[in-house]
Amino acid sequence: MAVEAVFPGADIGRGMYESFYLRAVAPDEPVGVWLRYTVHKRPGGVPRGSVWCTVFDAAAGPFMYKHTTEDLTAPADGWIAIGPDSRLAPGVAEGSCGEASWSLRFRSDERELRHLPHAWMYKAPLPRTKLTSPVPSASFDGTIEISGSPSRTLDVRGWRGMVGHNWGSEHAERWIWLHGIGFEEDPSAWLDVAVGRVLVAGRMTPWMANGALSLNGRRVRLGGLLTRGLRVAETATRCTIVLPGEDGLSVEVNVEEPPDTAAGWRYADPDGGEHDVVNCSIASLTLSAHRRGAATRMLHTSHGGAYELGMRERDHGVPLAPFADG
């Protein structure tokens, strides 16, 4: 399945959303960036593109910017372009919005991670949200400039991160996204998992998970249809998830955000609904991977974790960005 934008082929009468995104985190301090190139289309409407930039800093809190326009294309040499200077393509992320601008290059030896376990699920009406990571683990170089007072330049040199892509007709009713990179015990390891609950006939399903853990260069799928043993305990600032995996593997993940570092946004569904979304891309993440008859592997990263929670409630306590979605 080729990595390409979906919005150019969207049915004019139906609503949809699409997001290409990346995260990158500094190796030696809790500073990171979260960039999104998104599309939002109401039923019967034209697609609108937005560029989002959030810089996470444990010492100063998050800086959030967004720009929206109808100047939106899927260029032949890239994945998505929004406005005159914002584009994401294989190996390249450039753009500007508000007081932020960036020029990044990334490289990776990893193949795409398709979270859904079967190719037909990416063409079927259900699930309504499709998710892949074109680059589940990458190394970034370049600069991020923030003007204003005070101005700031981030020297992105050897930062670790990933590039993701999702799209659909509606968001899950409740979701969690976890990503881990820069583990002390295995610098090449990474974790990339989406966990969600959806409404079916007005009732909330149990949690379902899909993703992978890469250890010592070997990728192991986590979650999947009809798996047993998935357990989730989540708040806006921390979570514990037990994930069943292939070949009897069980992975427990504990994520905790540094105080006052989470960013909050309001995401719009194409049908007019809304979710509050809280994301911290400089979280601490610890995981234990256990298989019967084998020693337990422990991995920890002090600020290489990303934790996102999408929810309906509004009393989570995280301030929201002063701009709307859609």
Residue 180 amino acid letter: G
Q: Which class for 99: exposed (0-12), middle (13-18), buried (19 or more C-beta within 10 A)?
A: middle
The pLDDT, as a whole number, for residue 258 is: 96
Q: Are 20 and 79 in contact (CB under 8 A)?
A: yes
User: Residue 62: is the preceding peptide bond cis (ω within 30°)?
Assistant: no
Predicted structure pTM score: 0.96
Residue 246 backbone dihedrals phi, psi, to 5 degrees: -65, 155
Residue 304 amino acid letter: G
What string of pLDDT tens digits covers the 326 residues of the chain?
689 999 999 998 999 999 999 999 999 999 999 999 999 999 999 999 999 999 999 999 899 999 999 999 999 999 999 999 999 999 999 999 999 999 999 999 999 999 999 999 998 888 889 999 999 999 999 999 999 878 899 999 999 999 999 999 989 999 999 999 999 999 999 999 999 999 888 899 999 999 999 999 999 999 987 788 999 999 999 999 999 999 899 999 999 999 999 999 999 888 888 999 999 999 999 999 999 888 999 999 999 999 999 999 999 999 999 887 86
Length of the chain: 326
The pLDDT, as a whole number, for residue 202 is: 84
Cα–Cα distances in angstroms (integers) from residue 44 to residues 32, 56, 220, 268, 276, in the given order: 37, 36, 41, 16, 25
The pLDDT, as a whole number, for residue 40 is: 95
The pLDDT, as a whole number, for residue 1 is: 64
Residue 36 amino acid letter: R
- 255 has which bridge partners? 239, 285
CA-to-CA distance for 277 and 274, rounded, in angstroms? 10
| Domain spans in the chain, listed from the N-terminal domain onward | 16-121+138-311
